[in-house]
C-alpha cells in the first residue's frame, strides 16, 4: 500500500488516511516501549502517537490495550526464541552426541539469562501476567522457548545422558531454576552484583540443573 495525501475540509493536507500497516506499526511501537520500560510502559496512546495516528485507530486492530500488550508479548517471546537459536548457531557441531546435548541445554539457559539481562524490558514483557488465562493455555505450551527446551531435554535422553525415568517434568524444573535466577538478577537482590559474579552464579545453577534432574 502506498501512502497518499488528501485534503479535508479545513484545507490542511493529511498524510495517508489509510496507514497501510497500522497493526504492525503499533506492535513495533509497543515493542520499543516495552524494551525501554517493561510491560507497564507499553501504553496505547503513546503507541498510536508513534504510529502517527489518533488513539482510537488502535481499536480497529486490537480489542483493547491488553490485546496490544499480548501481541507485543508474543513478539518479545519469539525474540527470546531467536536469541536461543542464535546461541545454538555458535555451537560446535562436531561434538559427541552426549556433549552436544549438554551443550544445547546450557546454551538455552545461557541465552535465557543473557536475554534477561540485556533486554530486560522485553524479557519482563514476555513474561508479564496476561489478561486472559496465562500464555498458551491449550496445551501447546509457551510457543518458542519452551519447545526449544523440550527438544534439548529430549536430546539429553536420546543421547543417554539423562535416564528416561527422569525426563518427566524436566522442562519445568529447568525452566524454574533459570527463570527464577533471571528474576533475581534483573529485579531482585542479585541486581547489584557484578556481571562476572552473575555469570558465575548462572553457571552454578545450570550445573545444579544438570546434577539435580
Partner DNA sequence: TTCTAGTGTGTACACTGTCCACATAAGAAT
Partner DNA sequence: ATTCTTATGTGGACAGTGTACACACTAGAA
Decide: is 36 part of the binding site for DNA (CB under 7 A). Answer: no
Footprint on residues 64-103 left by DNA (CB under 7 A): 64-66
Residue 101: exposure state from Cβ atoms within 10 A (0-12, 13-18, ≥19): buried
Work out what residue 46 binds among a second copy, DNA, none; the CB cut-off runs from 5 to 8 Å by kind.
DNA
Cβ atoms of 14 and 7 within 8 Å: the answer is yes
With CB under 8 A as the contact rule, the residue among 24, 85, 136, 167 that binds a second copy is 136
Binding segment (CB under 8 A) for a second copy, from list 79-87, 98-106, 138-146, 155-163: 138-146
Residue 118 to residue 114: CA distance in whole angstroms: 6
Q: Helices (H) and strands (E) in the chain — how many of each?
A: 8, 2
Work out what residue 44 binds among DNA, a second copy, none; the CB cut-off runs from 5 to 8 Å by kind.
DNA
Q: Which residues neighbour 73 within 8 Å (Cβ) at sequence distance 6 or greater?
A: 39, 125, 126, 128, 130, 135
Decide: is 197 part of the binding site for DNA (CB under 7 A). Answer: no
Three-class DSSP category at 13: strand
Residue 154: exposure state from Cβ atoms within 10 A (0-12, 13-18, ≥19): middle
Work out what residue 11 binds among a second copy, DNA, none; the CB cut-off runs from 5 to 8 Å by kind.
none
With CB under 7 A as the contact rule, the residue among 29, 44, 209, 213 that binds DNA is 44
Strand partners, 14: 6
Decide: is 172 part of the binding site for a second copy (CB under 8 A). Answer: yes
With CB under 8 A as the contact rule, the residue among 30, 38, 144, 155 that binds a second copy is 38
Nearer to DNA, 41 or 190 (CB): 41
Footprint on residues 68-127 left by a second copy (CB under 8 A): 124, 127
Residue 41 sits at the vertex; the CA angle it makes with 134 and 14, to the nearest 5 degrees, is 115
Work out what residue 113 binds among a second copy, DNA, none; the CB cut-off runs from 5 to 8 Å by kind.
none
Q: Applying CB under 7 A, which residues contact DNA? A: 1, 4, 6, 8-9, 14, 17-20, 22, 43-46, 53-57, 59-61, 64-66
Amino acid at each position: 500500500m502506498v501512502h497518499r495525501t488528501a485534503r479535508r475540509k479545513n484545507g490542511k493536507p493529511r498524510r495517508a488516511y489509510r496507514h497501510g500497516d497500522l497493526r504492525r506499526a503499533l506492535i513495533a511501537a509497543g515493542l520499543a516501549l516495552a524494551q525501554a520500560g517493561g510491560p507497564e510502559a507499553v501504553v496505547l496512546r503513546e503507541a498510536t502517537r508513534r504510529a502517527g495516528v489518533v488513539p482510537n485507530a488502535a481499536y480497529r486492530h486490537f480489542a483493547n490495550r491488553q490485546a496490544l500488550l499480548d501481541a507485543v508479548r508474543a513478539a518479545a517471546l519469539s525474540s527470546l526464541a531467536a536469541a536461543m537459536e542464535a546461541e545454538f548457531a555458535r555451537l560446535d557441531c562436531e561434538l559427541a552426541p552426549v556433549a552436544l546435548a549438554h551443550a544445547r541445554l546450557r546454551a538455552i539457559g545461557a541465552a535465557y539469562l543473557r536475554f534477561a539481562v540485556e533486554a530486560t524490558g522485553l524479557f519482563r514483557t514476555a513474561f508479564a501476567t496476561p489478561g486472559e488465562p496465562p500464555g498458551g493455555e491449550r496445551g501447546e505450551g509457551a510457543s518458542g522457548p519452551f519447545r526449544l527446551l523440550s527438544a534439548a531435554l529430549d536430546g539429553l535422553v536420546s543421547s543417554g545422558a539423562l535416564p528416561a525415568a527422569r525426563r518427566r517434568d524436566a522442562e519445568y524444573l529447568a525452566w524454574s531454576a533459570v527463570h527464577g535466577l533471571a528474576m533475581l538478577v534483573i529485579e531482585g537482590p542479585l541486581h547489584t552484583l557484578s556481571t562476572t559474579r552473575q555469570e558465575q552464579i548462572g553457571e552454578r545453577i545450570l550445573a545444579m540443573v544438570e546434577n539435580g534432574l
